[in-house]
Amino acid sequence: MRASAGTLAVIGGLRARTCPEESDLPTTAYLLEGERCARDCAFCPQARSSGPRDDLLSRVNWPEVRDASFWDGASRAAADGQFRRLCLQLTVSPGIMARAERQVRRARESCPGLPICVSAGVRGLGEIEEVLSWGVERVTLALDAAAPGIHREVKGSSPERKLALLGEASGRFPGRIGTHLIAGLGETEKEMALAFQDMADMGVTVALFAFTPVPGTKLAAAHPPGLRSYRRLQAARHLISGHFTRAEDMAFDSQGGIASYGLTWDEVAARLAGGEAFRTSGCPDCNRPYYNERPSGPLYNYPRRLTPEEAREAVEEARPGIPTSRRGRSDRAGRPDLTARPAWRLIVEARPRSGPWNMAVDEAIMLAYQAGEVAPTLRFYRWAPPTVTLGYFQDAATEVDREACLREGIGLVRRLTGGRAVLHDKEVTYSVVVSSGLLPGSVVETYRKLAGGLVTGFKDLGLDAALAPEKATPGGPGSPYGACFEVPSSYEIVARGRKVVGSAQVRRKDVILQHGAILLELDAGLLGRVLGLGEEAGARIAGKAAGLAELLNGRVPGYEEVCGAVARGLEAVLGVVLRPGRLTEGETLTARRLVRDRYGRDAWNLRRPATGESDEENEREDY
């Protein structure tokens, strides 16, 4: 087995000459397993026809390591927090799967809890499933060349089978498949942008590399990509993977260069301002220091946070040569000028998830949006098992019957938003994350705007719904009612005098999170039991709330049908364009952390709010 020089620098052997800056040390342990590769990629020192040195991969050298001493050092580095991931790269060579499994086992024993990625030339879903069964977090299938013609030239094969496998694998193992794309092999910026879009649509994470000529390879005399071109590709990858734009909405010059990102330059510059787009991309905590460049620079991929000056310079380098404008877009490919309407991300979760996960994801999206990493987001989701959510300030000891929840198989989680308890069962839940600058007004005013979109969507379903008056009886803290659905608040959605949607909102500084339950069917008796409201509560609730099925005379609309109708209604009322997307890798990791540290813990879910507790950072309301 071999380890990269930077990995060994962390362990202690090569620090002085390999990574001069402490902040530039690897945050991932990089390992290489296997003999010289059976494949013959023109850029790779491990290719079968490359020169005699077999200790190189890209421009990095990979010394052999002794298992025992290496794993002792890796264990210490993981315990110290320097190594936050392990990446095992495999050549295509005899017995590689057995050897790889052995190294993964050693990694899990020596560094328990450390996420592991395996980059491998697997042949099908079966081998991917086998690798994941070892306890690996994700598998990377290197596409490398974005353009089919270039792919055949430098890799000696057509990309169709690899693309098909990437799509199948991502569908089978969502969030666990990645790929490599190398810029500078001869493709155009347009071809690379289209490849980014294909990967984003499939849910495949892209690690972007700059081509590096290495002595002994077939492309030793070639040149790396121009830095400005690479900056444009980094910007395009960031904007596409964050669902801020799509490749088909971008404009390209006659040479296939990026002329517009499909947004105004001010919008692009704002999204790139922090410099995140220009850092190493790929798996979380993978920084690959000096994989594509010398430490003296120029840096293609920053292995650390950029300084403000570096970030400003990189953003300017990413500016297209042709001034970006929204004018003149309407005649391209016969499409209307949709960029005049703000683009939001639309996430429709495919399967029901637990209460802690659902609440963690809502907060993770809010945090990612605050950081400028994602677009405004509309998300739809469901629950398994059925779950009671408590308002932020509610006392679990008095607001819910925990024994009844256990008997009925009902989960329990505390929301970030205020208001009263809600039972999430046969429903479609929506959440919206957007800045108050894009959706201005008070809590009540923003709720009215969003509710208007829901009402418009319900008309598509055949339901004549309306907004309750502004001065309806409040349902927040201090209300004599025990359940959210017992009373409509200002601008709540009602049909035939009965409430059909219950929503709540929280604001953190200038970011709004609003989520709500759209009832498909209402089991008022179960709701009364789990909230400990007494036998008479079920009939009382049934008279004040109803599911869509009852209001549509027994027709139960499907999950996707409701999501589509509501999405169209919000698009029309808010004047936005919804573009399908997925959670980013960062959002997924944040959600996992929030489940572990907050929403999956009794300390959060069962806490007793202090008398007179206030929350100066957040503004919470129930509707």
DSSP code per residue over 172-237: HSTT-EEEEEEETSS--HHHHHHHHHHHHHHTPEEEEEE----TTSTTTT--PPPHHHHHHHHHHH
Contact status, residue 435 vs residue 510, Cβ threshold 8 Å: yes
Q: Which residue reads 């000891």 in tokens? A: 397
C-alpha 292 chain-centroid distance: 26
Cβ atoms < 10 Å from Cβ of 454: 22
CA proximity to 272, closest of 303, 228, 314, 325: 314
Cα(411)–Cα(429) distance, rounded to whole angstroms? 16
Q: Which of 110, 98, 92, 94 is nearest to 37 (CA)?
A: 92
- Answer yes or no: 484 catalytic: yes
d(CA 32, CA 426): 49
CB 531 within 8 A of CB 401: yes
Phi, psi of 43 (to 5 degrees): -95, -5
CA atoms within 13 A on the CB side of 430: 26
Give the 3-state secondary structure percentages of the chain, helix then strand then coil, rounded to 5: 35, 20, 45
Catalytic entry in 19, 44, 283, 484: 484
Cα–Cα distance, 532 to 276 (Å, whole number): 49
Tokens of 471: 């001065």
Could you please report the per-residue DSSP string of 261-302? -SS-HHHHHHHHTTSGGGB--SSTT---TTSSS-TTS--SSB
One-letter identity of residue 431: S
Peptide bond into 115 cis (omega under 30): no
The answer to whether 436 and 553 are in contact (CB under 8 A) is no
Residues assigned a catalytic role: 484
